[in-house]
Amino acid sequence: MRSSLPILTVLLAVACGGVSHDPAAVATRYMQGIVAGDAGRAFAYLSTSDRMGVDSARFRDMAFDSDIGLDRLDTTVDSARVLTSAGDGAVVVVFTTGPDVEAVRRSAVPATDPPRRTFTDTLRLVREPEPQHWYSPAVALLRQPGVWRVSAGLVQRQRLERLAGPLRTAPEGTPIARLATYARAYMDAADQTPELAQPTDLDRARSALLAAAVADSLRFRLHVDDSAPGARYLAGLVENPTSTRVGILHLVITDQAGGQESIQVWGVAPAGSARVAQPTHLHAGPLRIAVNTLDVMGG
C-alpha cells in the first residue's frame, strides 16, 4: 500500500500556508499557537516524529507546562531570528513581550503584610501590565521533506518524564540501591537529550547516585561483643573516607546464624568515623552489613 505521508505533508504545507518554507515564520506561528493557548494550531507545526509519537490531546497537556509554554497572560509574539541553519536543521529564537508577573506579585503584596498573602490578583495583571522583553526557549526545527517543522522532542520528553516518575514519587525509606537504579536510567536518557532534562529531576538523580557512591565507600569495623555476662553489644566504627557528610545512615546487619537487625547511625563526618555501641540480639561471629538508606549532606 502506498504511504500517505507525502500526501499528509502536502496537506499540512497547504494548511500552514507559505510560511512552511521559512524556519523563522514556522517558529513564530508555533509560538503564537502556544501563547494563544491554541494547542491544535501549534500541533500542526510539529515534526512528523512528534505528531506520530504524541497525539494532540497529550500535546495540549505538555505544551502548557511552564517548561514548554510561556505565561500567556497578555503576551504577544513579536519577532523571530534564525540563530543557526545548516542542512535540514535550524534553531530559531522567538522574541515575546508580556507582563512582568513577578514584579506585579511583589507590588501586590504590601511589605507590612508579608508571606500571609500569596494570591495574585489576575485582573490587576491584565489592567496594569509591566512589559518585559525576553527570549523564548530556542526552537529547533527540521526540514522534512521540503517544509520546516518544529522538533520539540516530545517522544524523548515523555520518556524522561516516565523515567523521572519513580525518583519523584519514591517514598521515604526506599533502599538506596533501588534509587540508584532509577537514577542511572534517568541519567542515561538525559545524556542523550540534555536540553530536555528537568533541573529538579537531574538533582534528584545526582543525589541518589552520590548517596550510592558514598554507601559503596563506607567501611564497617563492627563486631558483637558478648564478653559481659547475659548481654551482647554491637560495637565498633563506621568509617567514611569520602568528602561527603553522611546524615542518618540505616544499616541492615545479618549474623552467621541468619539473625538480622536494622540500626541507625546518626552522622558520619567527611573523612571521619562514627562510633557504634548498642545492645543487640545478634550473635558473635562474621557479620554481613548492608546500607539500606542514607542521607548525604553536601560534598
Question: What does the domain layout of the chain look like in residue ranges?
Answer: 5-101+134-152, 158-213, 218-296
pLDDT tens for residues 118-127? 444 444 545 5
Max mean pLDDT among 1-5, 62-66, 222-226 falls in 222-226
| HSE value, Cβ hemisphere, 13 Å, CA-based, for 141 | 32
The pLDDT of residue 206 is above 70? yes
In whole numbers, what is the pLDDT of the chain averaged over residues?
A: 83
Which DSSP letter does residue 88 get?
T
Which DSSP letter does residue 45 get?
T
Q: Give the least confident one: 63-72, 113-122, 275-284.
A: 113-122
Task: Classify burial at 208, counting beta carbons within 10 Å of its beta carbon; exposed 0-12, middle 13-18, buried 19 or more.
Answer: buried
Q: What angle do CA 6, 31, 135 make, to 5 degrees?
A: 130
Here the cell at position 219 is 567501611
| Of 133 and 260, the one with more pLDDT | 260
pLDDT-derived band at 19, boundaries 50, 70, 90: low
Instruction: Say which CATH superfamily domain 218-296 falls into.
Output: Immunoglobulins (2.60.40.10)
Would you say 121 and 170 are in contact if contact means Cβ atoms under 8 Å apart? no
Instruction: Say which CATH superfamily domain 5-101+134-152 falls into.
Output: NTF2-like; domain 1 (3.10.450.100)
pLDDT-derived band at 77, boundaries 50, 70, 90: confident
pTM of the prediction? 0.70
pLDDT-derived band at 272, boundaries 50, 70, 90: very high
CA distance 262 to 154: 44
Which DSSP letter does residue 282 get?
P
Residues facing 85 on adjacent strands: 90
